[in-house]
Amino acid sequence: MTALHCRHMKPTLRNISIDSRCDVHQTVLGIREGKEGWFDLYCPGGVACDDDGELYSIMVCIELLIVFFTFR
C-alpha cells in the first residue's frame, strides 16, 4: 500500500465512519482471520497512520456512540 493510496482512502474511510449503519462500519474491519482491515491499518502506529491517530479516533468515537445509543 502506498502513501498516496492511503491519503486518497482517508475521506472514504471518514465517510464510512460517520455513517449511521452498523453494516457500513463493519467494512473497516478485517474480512479474514489474520488479515488486517482498514481499522488496523489506520490505527496509531499502523502503516497508513499519518495523522497521529485522528482518523482512527473518529472511527472509534463514532462506533462507540452508535453502540451506546443503540443498546440504551
Encode the chain (72 residues) as per-residue pLDDT tens digits: 556 677 788 898 888 888 878 788 777 776 678 877 787 888 898 888 888 888 888 888 876 776 676 766
At CB < 8 A and 24+ separation, what contacts does 56-61 make?
58/14, 58/17, 58/18, 59/13, 59/17, 59/28
How far, in Å, CA of 36 to CA of 68, rounded? 25
pLDDT at 18: 82
pLDDT at 1: 56
How far, in Å, CA of 45 to CA of 14, rounded? 18
pLDDT at 28: 73
pLDDT at 24: 82
Asked whether 17 and 25 are in contact (CB, 8 A), the reply is yes
Q: What is the pTM of this model?
A: 0.69
